[in-house]
């Protein structure tokens, strides 16, 4: 309370209620605890959990992150000035031991990256990255609902860099499972970081 007025929760400024935030966090937690990767064989199996994760990351980034605007300029022949559009971007970062988890939401997609922080100068090395739609299913059955290369999981641990596109190979069980394994690893650390910071704040 300040100057006789109750202050808004940070997420109420973006239309996110505390209940929606808690529900999304619990949904991500259940995804980590319950999903059995060995039972995922096709894109149809993966689509529901991927959509849940993308929406959950978006809610948390909007609730706790920093809001900014990004303008994309386009140039056209015979035009003196570029034209473009402005989109809202939400960015949220949190730490877990020597790792940083970063979520960026823009253009209808949520991207979660996991970095390892190295040395006194806090050099950041990206180990994993996932990208998922923030507000739609990635597929209906085994038929993609977004561009094939817009949904992906990247693992760059060690010297090997691997990228998995589940929409490009909807019937490849190995691709679907390895994609989900990276998603699960990133989300697990993200949830652990959020819960740890919540516990510290309540003390």
pLDDT digits (tens, 9 = 90+) for 130-173: 999 998 899 998 999 999 999 999 999 777 899 999 999 999 99
pLDDT tier for residue 16 given thresholds of 50, 70 and 90: confident
> What does the pLDDT average to over 17-24?
93
Token pair of 111 as six digits: 């991207």
> 42 or 75: which carries more pLDDT confidence?
42
pLDDT tens sequence across 44-77 = 999 989 999 999 999 999 999 999 998 776 656 5
pLDDT tens sequence across 181-199 = 999 999 999 999 999 988 7
pLDDT tier for residue 84 given thresholds of 50, 70 and 90: low
Question: Residue 188 in 3-state DSSP?
Answer: helix
pLDDT tier for residue 6 given thresholds of 50, 70 and 90: very low
Q: Which residue, 69, 117, 68, 119, is CA-closest to 96?
A: 117
CB contact at 8 A, 69 and 86 = yes
pTM of the model: 0.85
CA 176 to chain centre: 18
| DSSP summary character for residue 134 | S
């Amino acid at each position: 309370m300040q100057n006789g007025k109750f202050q808004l929760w940070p997420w109420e400024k973006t239309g996110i209620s505390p209940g929606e935030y808690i529900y999304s966090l619990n949904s991500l937690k259940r995804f980590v605890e319950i999903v059995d990767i060995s039972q995922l064989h096709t894109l149809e199996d993966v689509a529901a959990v991927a959509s849940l994760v993308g929406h959950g990351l978006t809610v948390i980034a909007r609730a706790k992150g920093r809001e900014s605007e990004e303008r994309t300029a386009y140039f056209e022949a015979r035009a003196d000035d570029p034209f473009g559009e402005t989109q809202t971007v939400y960015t949220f970062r949190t730490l877990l031991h020597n790792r940083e988890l970063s979520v960026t939401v823009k253009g209808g997609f949520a991207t979660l990256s996991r970095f390892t922080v190295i040395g006194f100068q806090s050099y950041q090395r990206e180990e994993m990255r996932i990208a998922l739609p923030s507000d739609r299913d990635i597929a209906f059955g085994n038929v993609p609902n977004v561009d094939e290369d817009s949904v992906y999981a990247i693992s760059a641990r060690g010297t090997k860099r691997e990228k998995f596109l589940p929409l490009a190979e909807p019937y490849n069980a190995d691709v679907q499972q390895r994609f989900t394994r990276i998603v699960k690893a990133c989300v697990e650390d993200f949830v652990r970081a959020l819960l740890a910071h919540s516990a510290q704040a309540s003390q």
